[in-house]
Amino acid sequence: MKDLNKNSDYELPLELELIFDNKKLDMFEYIVIIFLATSQFKKRSVSIEQMVYYYTIFFSLNSKSKTPLIYKYNKDMKKIGEYLISLSSLKLVEVIGTVDQPLNRIKVKLTNYGKEFIESIESETLLSFISDIANVMEEYSYDKNSPYLSKILYEGWTTNEN
């Protein structure tokens, strides 16, 4: 994680940085989602909608909030551009698309450096976190018309079960 902190004289373990910096945690989750979608599901790239879909479901399953998540979802759709710019400037992802394309047509793929970054993680905490995201992605296949996504967005939920 030293590359992400070039201006500092100290280096925190990645898991500590992720606890205290939500932006880094969000970006880490998105990198993991891209990595898993491209490696496990044999996709070359991932749509922004797909990334936010998995991010939202993962959040819903790990959140204590039972309120509808539509406002958070819309906020995440707006913030993802900022995250992708940061991840792209760090050479972790490549954004595939043009300036005039609508957001839902833009795709993202991990660079070789991004793959190496994820594959080099040795922290048991982060590996467990990656495994949790992988389980969610396997259980909740991407479907932009998902009844589960609609439920958590517009109605909220009452338990961590389907």
Instruction: Give the structural domain span for 72.
Output: 14-154
Q: Return the pLDDT at 25.
A: 86
User: Which amino acid type is present at position 105?
Assistant: R
Rounded Cα gap, residues 83 and 76, in angstroms: 10
Q: Indicate the number of domains in the chain.
A: 1
Does 99 reside within a domain? yes
The answer to the question of residue 100 being in a domain is yes
| 44 domain-assigned | yes
Assigned domain for 5 exists: no
DSSP symbol at 96:
E
Q: Which of 125, 100, 95 is nearest to 111 (CA)?
A: 95
User: What is the pLDDT tens value at each position of the chain, 162 positions in all?
Assistant: 445 544 445 565 666 655 655 888 899 999 999 999 998 877 889 999 999 999 999 998 988 778 888 988 999 988 998 999 999 999 999 999 887 888 778 999 999 999 999 999 999 999 999 999 999 999 999 988 899 899 999 988 645 444
Neighbours of 48 (CB within 10 A): 21
